Amino acid sequence: MQVLPTHNGANTKECLPLGKLIVLTGPSGVGKGTLMNEILRRYPELHYSVSATTRSPRPGEINGKNYHFISRSQFEQLVTQGEFLEWAEFAGNCYGTPREAVLNHVQAGKLVVLEIELAGARQIRHTFPSALSIFILPPSFAELEKRIRGRGQDAEEAISLRLQRAEEEIVAANEFDIKIINDDFEQAVKEIEKAIFE
């Protein structure tokens, strides 16, 4: 059971029978997206929240599936209208979770998964203390760098911003309910399954 906050941040008095909010966080390049895709492939009943971002699409990314790719002025307008459950700036771009879609799915009893960075994950933990939060760690910083570079999708500037931010993110791991080291991929998937379903 979760209590839905109203727009002014106060909690509604009633306890609504709701689904569950799951937050997956951790540094860029640790494998969050790859783990999430595998979890969604295995459990299509989960609802993945598609974020809005001002970042340009990477080759192969699909608008509406990976992200809603929007301009900075559109993003700012949505912030002003209170359309985001949380939002944050990361490595020079803005990212936000659409409020209505997520709340509708939670209210419909779904398991809703957000894959977001540290500041957003903290906001969600604050707004929904009953959300399940999972922090994904790399086996080492060197391996994290290898993965970000190996992905081959970011410019050098974007890579160094992500690595810089990763150092700050990793020290926050203990704030979250569950920590999982993504070393052996299958093992990490199993640990996420256990966290979500047990």
**Binding footprint of ligand GDP on the chain (CB under 6 A):** 28-29, 32-33, 51, 55, 86-88, 90, 95-97, 115-117, 119-120, 162
Tokens in use for 102? Answer: 């997520």
Residue at token pair 């409020």: 99
Tokens in use for 183? Answer: 């070393």
Residue with Cβ nearer ligand ADP (76 or 184): 184
User: Can you tell me which of 18, 22, 30, 189 binds ligand ADP, judged by CB under 6 A?
Assistant: 30
The reply on whether position 151 binds ligand ADP by CB under 6 A is yes
Question: Which listed option, ligand ADP, ligand GDP, none, makes contact with residue 96 (CB within 5 to 8 Å by class)?
Answer: ligand GDP
Region 77-116 residues binding ligand ADP, contact defined as CB under 6 A: none
The reply on whether position 120 binds ligand ADP by CB under 6 A is no
Q: What is the maximum alpha-carbon separation in the chain?
A: 50
Residue at token pair 């990361």: 90
Amino acid at 193: E
The reply on whether position 149 binds ligand ADP by CB under 6 A is no
Nearest alpha-carbon partner for 23 in 140, 100, 129, 165: 129
User: How far is it, in rounded angstroms, from Cα 92 to Cα 26?
Assistant: 18
Residue with Cβ nearer ligand GDP (110 or 165): 165
Shortest Cβ contact with ligand GDP: which residue?
A: 120
Question: What is the CA angle 138-142-146, rounded to 5?
Answer: 85
Nearest alpha-carbon partner for 69 in 80, 79, 58, 77: 58
Question: Which listed option, ligand GDP, ligand ADP, none, makes contact with residue 30 (CB within 5 to 8 Å by class)?
Answer: ligand ADP
Which window, 7-15, 47-55, 119-127, 143-151, contacts ligand ADP (CB under 6 A)? 143-151
